[in-house]
Structure 1
Amino acid sequence: MLGKILKGPEQSEVPNLSLGQYFFKRAEEFGDRECQVDAVTDRRESFSGLKLRSTRVALGLQKRGITSGDVVVVCSNMTLDAAVPNVASFFLGAKVANLDPSLSVKQTSHLIGLVSPKVIFVEEASVPLIEESLRSANHKTEIVVFGNSEQYSTFSDLDTPQTEEESFRPVEVDTQDVVIMLFSSGTTGLPKAICHSHHSFMQMSFSFCNTVDKLDSLLSFTTFYWISGLLFLACSFIGGTRRIICGAIEPQKTFRVIETYKVTCIFLAPILTYQLTNFLNHRDYDTSSLYTIVSGGTGISSAQICKLAATFPHSHIVYIYGLSEIGLATMNRPEDSHKITQSKLGSSGKVAPGFALKVLFSFTSVSA
């Protein structure tokens, strides 16, 4: 610690590209490598496939007048389609905000009012939520539906071959421009929109990927409303790894997915870990591929960390502390997890690469 400042390891320099340029470039490099897999149907999509669909949707949005100055909102549970309008918006340099279908009309209306989207992509089941929220917010916008709709445009209308798709390239924007808008938890008041530039989100994504090893096969149950969902999407493009999508967490299904798809890294909110540690038949499944279990978002008890370690004896338990405003603040490298479990159980590790923290007295702004 120097001058009351805790500093993490030096961060390797991130590419001076927009998210759209970087995702496009990496998708070209990884080509037919698997990018995402639906574990329910075993439908698989390559980086080339996701790039092509995102290009088509980007062109469709351009024809609707969407530019880098506009906001695109996506409200969907995690599916193979959910990533497409996000990546398409990155290609256009537009700002992206995601909503969770589990939110109430009051919450959704407030968040829509904060970001004023020009278009909203919404899953078919959540159309009534968006309609009522828009009325409550007194905001008019175009709705595009994942699925069927007689009233609105559909995602399949946009995901069609375009004459310009071969020559399309991402729009050039300033990497300090806002690209992702997250929402605060609302603990101390109504949620607020948190803006991340291309550079800041690349920085936190590379920090995570450079700390957590073996990201070959990623499993997360969070939607893109949560920063963890977007981080896993970015990690997939950084490392050329695949994301596994399997819907809501169910213990038996989760163990089967880990075994079948050789999952190497999983993100679990602490509350979700109990479903897995309480599953009595966990020894019936081979989870030896699971190198890292990442948990964060709320506190987790020392007893539960020990239960996780017992349930997944081959895995490293990595507890992280982060904020939507900056991403990861602290975490430990997977190889240090056993040492921390033995000597500093409950620790959230060390300052993440590329970050610095100032130490203050508790409940004051006085430097320690």
Structure 2
Amino acid sequence: MSPRIVKGPRISFEEITKGLGEVFFEAAGKYADNICQIEAETGKTETFRSVKERSTRVAIRLLEIGIKPGDVVACCLKNSIDSAIPVVASLYINAKVASLDVLQSSRDCAHCIQLVQPKLIFVDEDAETLIENSLVEAGFDNVGIIIVGTSSKHKMLSEMLTPCATESGFKPVAVKDCHDTAFLSFSSGTTDRSKAICITHFGLLNKIALQIRAFKKQVVSMNCASLFWFLPVAMFTQAMISGGCRVLCPEFDVETTLKYIEKYKVTFFTMPPAHTYAMVNSKNLHAYNVDSLDLLLITGSPISPGQLTKMIQLFPNVFVTTGYGATEALGGVTLLDYRSCKGLLTSKIGSVGKCAPNMEIKVVDVETRETLCANKEGEICIKTPYSMNGYYKLDSSSAYDSDGFIKTGDIGYYDEDEFLYIVSRIKEMFKYKSWQVAPTFVEEVLEQHPNVKEAVAFGIPHEIDEFHPAAFVVLKEGAEASMEDLQEFVSGQVSEFQKLRGGIKIIDAIAKTPSGKKLRRENAQMFLKLQRNV
């Protein structure tokens, strides 16, 4: 069989060439009386008319304080009735939107701030101290802070929501080029820390417009993650341009999630594989009516075939599925649709599905970069008209091959029926739940300990969480440190997902190549062997 590029169905439609702010503004007028968002915990609802009005007022205030088209406005917000307003307002004035996460450490947050250099940050009241500390660490002392909630130190969002004399005549700022950046979505590079992925107006609007065609009715969607993650950004965009409703849930809990699905008649819910274990083990699942649910998408990291089967059995009347995606390609690259073929789950066990519409995939030899044929493992590369605009203020040339395909860093293959399978990762990154962990960053923290000579960090496989961060440490000659001391040292400086749950072991020497490069995979295997021998 000859090498080939695997292509999804080609679907033609009238492409959107306006900006997100313009499209959101028009849609809010069209769907004015539709419920746009529901705050799950409190039951508060808001119509598109209200979202448009509040966002317009904030947009006018942003212009008044000097925020210009093209400036970066960051948001560090939990899911709430107010969290969308600064985002929509920023898009109305054609500012770029970057989202931070309240669960980040100040060090990670500072790194993201340095990458995108925002003029202003909207901050959840619970994250006020986090952002203040992050700005100090980043060396930025001229960034404005607006608190969503209450504050005695900073301007509050509520002050920007009072009526404006000019609001009735307000029009969004038109984009000059629909291929300009709208969102900056943080993701991890292949071997290092976060990069800011440039999501374009054209890419996001048309990728979502394509996906909306698959839904037969108005969607009520729910996701427990913040807009720091790309999937919630995509779901937010879907609701805003189609008149759908978002149910805003701040965190995942099985009982609470099921209660919200029943109460608000959610039709589309997404979750990471790590949450499926709690769902499968729930004893009260059948106490809730989830008949409204049409689609349950499990994504963010791979799910085992056995676990996917359990979820399908748990929700027999729901399309429970998974796929493969990349933020650089604006989400879904493949989708596993087993409804079209009886026995697909067993005949294509472990597959992440077939190529999505208007998407191209090729598998190349890691060394020679030659395109491979079916059933040959290599690096997965993807191409789509909706892909990213590169990494913000960074040289992005190495992210693409000579044909314009994005290099994913994932190893896999496609079979003779063009179903894709993910085997491993070239990347040194690994995932704890849905969070990308950069081992080099954890190593940097460990090596700041006064008694540590060097360290190597890696992921240890975990049944539920995918990987747990772990490390080998070499102490300086004559120095002493306990594993508990080192754990405490790291925990005080990293985000929750970067903590060394897999453990720390003190050894005499780290396995390296002759040139001195740390052999991360070999060190991880040695760590597992030592664990088994304990």
Q: For the superposition of Structure 1 and Structure 2, which TM-score range results when normalised by the shorter chain?
A: over 0.9
Q: Distance in 2 between matches of 1:2 and 1:94?
A: 47
Matched, 1:349 2:353: yes
The one-letter code matched in structure 2 to 1:195 is C
Matched, 1:365 2:365: no
Give 2:310's aligned residue.
307
Tell me the SS of whatever aligns to 1:171: coil
Residues 109 and 137 in structure 1, CA contact (< 8 A), matched pair in contact too: yes
Quick check: which one's strand share is greater? 2
How far is the alpha carbon of 1:10 from its aligned partner?
2.3
Give 1:126's aligned residue.
127
The one-letter code matched in structure 1 to 2:84 is A
Residues 147 and 154 in structure 1, CA contact (< 8 A), matched pair in contact too: yes
Q: Distance in 2 between matches of 1:62 and 1:208?
A: 33
Give 2:29's aligned residue.
28
Matched, 1:84 2:88: no
Q: Structure 1 residues 216, 363: CA separation in 2 closer, same or farther (over 3 Å shift)?
A: farther
How far is the alpha carbon of 1:215 from its aligned partner?
5.4
The one-letter code matched in structure 1 to 2:360 is A
| Matches for 1:265-344 after TM superposition, within 5 Å | 265-327=268-330, 328-333=332-337, 335-336=339-340, 340-344=344-348
How far is the alpha carbon of 1:336 from its aligned partner?
3.8
How far is the alpha carbon of 1:86 from its aligned partner?
0.7
Q: Structure 1 residues 212, 358: CA separation in 2 closer, same or farther (over 3 Å shift)?
A: farther
Alpha-carbon deviations, 1:135-191, whole Å to 9, x = none? Answer: 000012000001111211001011111111111011011211111101113452011
Matched, 1:202 2:205: yes
Q: Structure 1 residues 363, 335: CA separation in 2 closer, same or farther (over 3 Å shift)?
A: farther
Tell me the SS of whatever aligns to 2:145: strand
Q: Structure 1 residues 223, 288: CA separation in 2 closer, same or farther (over 3 Å shift)?
A: same
Residues 340 and 347 in structure 1, CA contact (< 8 A), matched pair in contact too: no
Q: Structure 1 residues 286, 91: CA separation in 2 closer, same or farther (over 3 Å shift)?
A: same
Residues 36 and 244 in structure 1, CA contact (< 8 A), matched pair in contact too: yes
| Matches for 1:72-221 after TM superposition, within 5 Å | 72-139=73-140, 140-173=142-175, 174-186=177-189, 188-211=191-214, 214=217, 216-221=219-224
Tell me the SS of whatever aligns to 1:37: strand
The one-letter code matched in structure 2 to 1:22 is V
The one-letter code matched in structure 2 to 1:147 is G
How far is the alpha carbon of 1:346 from its aligned partner?
3.1
How far is the alpha carbon of 1:236 from its aligned partner?
0.4
Q: Percent identity?
A: 35
Tell me the SS of whatever aligns to 1:120: strand
How far is the alpha carbon of 1:207 from its aligned partner?
3.3
Q: How many residues align?
A: 368
The one-letter code matched in structure 1 to 2:117 is S
Residues 147 and 154 in structure 2, CA contact (< 8 A), matched pair in contact too: yes
Residues 287 and 314 in structure 1, CA contact (< 8 A), matched pair in contact too: no
Q: Structure 1 residues 340, 317: CA separation in 2 closer, same or farther (over 3 Å shift)?
A: farther
Matched, 1:8 2:11: no
Q: Distance in 2 between matches of 1:5 and 1:125?
A: 48
Tell me the SS of whatever aligns to 1:365: coil
How far is the alpha carbon of 1:364 from its aligned partner?
5.4
Q: Distance in 2 between matches of 1:323 and 1:112?
A: 22
Q: Distance in 2 between matches of 1:342 and 1:292?
A: 21
How far is the alpha carbon of 1:325 from its aligned partner?
0.8
Q: What's the TM-score, normalizing by structure 1?
A: 0.95
How far is the alpha carbon of 1:333 from its aligned partner?
4.7
Residues 338 and 344 in structure 2, CA contact (< 8 A), matched pair in contact too: no
How far is the alpha carbon of 1:262 from its aligned partner?
1.2
Q: Distance in 2 between matches of 1:152 and 1:281?
A: 44
Q: Distance in 1 between matches of 2:327 and 2:168?
A: 36
Greater relative contact order, per chain length (Cα 8 Å cut-off, separation 6+):
1
The one-letter code matched in structure 2 to 1:287 is V
Give 2:65's aligned residue.
64
Residues 96 and 181 in structure 1, CA contact (< 8 A), matched pair in contact too: yes
Tell me the SS of whatever aligns to 1:359: strand
How far is the alpha carbon of 1:316 from its aligned partner?
0.8
Structure 1 gap segments, 5+ residues each: none
Alpha-carbon deviations, 1:7-64, whole Å to 9, x = none? Answer: 2222323322100011111110001101100121111001111111111110110101
Q: What's the TM-score, normalizing by structure 2?
A: 0.66
Matched, 1:234 2:237: yes
Q: Distance in 2 between matches of 1:337 and 1:149?
A: 56
Residues 320 and 331 in structure 1, CA contact (< 8 A), matched pair in contact too: yes
Tell me the SS of whatever aligns to 1:42: coil
Q: Structure 1 residues 54, 310: CA separation in 2 closer, same or farther (over 3 Å shift)?
A: same
Structure 2 gap segments, 5+ residues each: 373-534
How far is the alpha carbon of 1:342 from its aligned partner?
4.3
